Homo-oligomer: A and B are copies of this chain.
Amino acid sequence: MTWRRVAVVGAGAFGTALALVAARAGCAVILWGRDSQHMQRLAETRENATHLPGAHLPTSILATPDASRVGGADIVLMAVPAQATRAALRALSGHLRTGAPVVACAKGIERGTGKLQSSIIAELVPDAVSAVLSGPGFAEEIAAGLPTAVTIASVDMAVAERLCASLSTDAFRPYASDDLVGVELGGAIKNVLAIACGIVAGRGLGESARAALIARGLAEMMRLGVTLGARPETFMGLSGLGDLVLTATSRQSRNLAFGTAIARGESLRDLLADGAPLVEGALSAGIAAELAVRHGVDIPIVAAVAALVEGRVGVDEAIAGLVNRPLRRETD
């Protein structure tokens, strides 16, 4: 049995791409956003010209700013930015169908609370089965129907599998997992590592250094994750390694661009100012480094990014932390 009525919360690029996926999988889709003008334009033009130009929205997608329409859905995909999830769930309060799975599709740790997306969902919608969709996927590529494989995780494996079956098409392949912590943590840490890769790229340190950083960074992600109860194999999968490779090697990544800008001497204060594009990895670095200290885990690359972002070290000192590790056995 698959779910046939899907609500997507957030009508940016990724939300619109997910609405297209659900429609192609045969679902009736409510695409909800707060901005009534934006939603009206989507409904009239059948296109999200602002965020995802070129993709035609079929009639099975209803674009609306009416929160009550979300209540008609069997499952809810949360596709607003990670820092806006709490506000969006508040706006939908009282409108969600009781017990409907709520799937976090954004990645990131909440500023102030340090909470992962699934914890915010659990806090605000306690009766929902919370789940996470994560993996290497660009909205533009998903919308264009290019092959994309992602992980959908829930503590209830049957829910994860049913979500996968509901959203699967020939091009969009979700794989089920019950390792919610591992999938979410991978999504948060990979942004930190992308900043590190950006720093190495910005200083012209070469492709070999970046590849080594990805390998050693994945090991850090895994060490921290396993300590927090995740399974090691999750980090080797789509939501861990897959997403890390995409974020750390693609010019489309905001975290990578941020690292590159720092390494080229741009001002940290300007890059992190209010109003500048939010860099999830800069936010997650400190929280992850703190978690690692609390649990006695050694994650030097993440710690170097955190120290840099917090202004405790300069770029050169951070780079020394990234590439000049002492000689040890690799698996230490």
Contacts and interface: CB of A to CB of B under 8 A. Distances in A.
A215 B252 CA distance: 19
A265 interface: no
Interface residues of A, number: 58
A327 interface: yes
A218 B211 CA distance: 14
B147 A208 contact: yes
A323 B177 CA distance: 19
A15 to B, nearest CB: 17
Contacts of A142: 208
B211 A243 contact: yes
Most buried by B among A161, A212, A222, A242: A212
B215 A237 contact: yes
Interface stretch (A34-42, A67-75, A162-170, A279-287): A162-170
A91 interface: no
Contacts of A211: 136, 242-243, 245-246, 249
Contact of A151 (B164, B214, B242, B330): B330
A209 B147 contact: yes
A250 to B, nearest CB: 5
Contacts of A214: 241-242, 245
Nearest to A146: B206
Nearest to A326: B173
A153 to B, nearest CB: 9
A316 interface: no
A266 interface: no
A127 interface: no
A325 interface: yes
A330 B136 contact: no
A212 B164 contact: no
Interface string A248-292: 011010000000000000000000000000000000000000000
Interface string A135-176: 111100110101111010000000001001100101001111
Contacts of A324: 147, 170, 173
A310 B267 CA distance: 54
Interface string A191-208: 000000000000001111
A123 interface: no
Interface in A286-332: 323-325, 327-331
A332 to B, nearest CB: 9
Contacts of A323: 147, 149, 173
Contact of A209 (B148, B174, B329, B330): B148
A218 B206 contact: no
Give me the 4 closest cross-chain CB pairs, A-B, nearest first. A215-B242, A136-B211, A211-B246, A175-B330
25 contacts: A138-B208, A141-B207, A146-B205, A146-B208, A146-B209, A147-B323, A151-B330, A173-B324, A173-B325, A175-B327, A175-B328, A177-B330, A177-B331, A207-B246, A210-B245, A210-B246, A211-B242, A211-B245, A211-B246, A214-B245, A215-B245, A216-B242, A218-B241, A234-B331, A237-B331
Given A149-B209, A208-B246, 9 more contacts: A141-B206, A147-B205, A148-B212, A149-B216, A174-B327, A177-B330, A218-B236, A238-B330, A245-B249
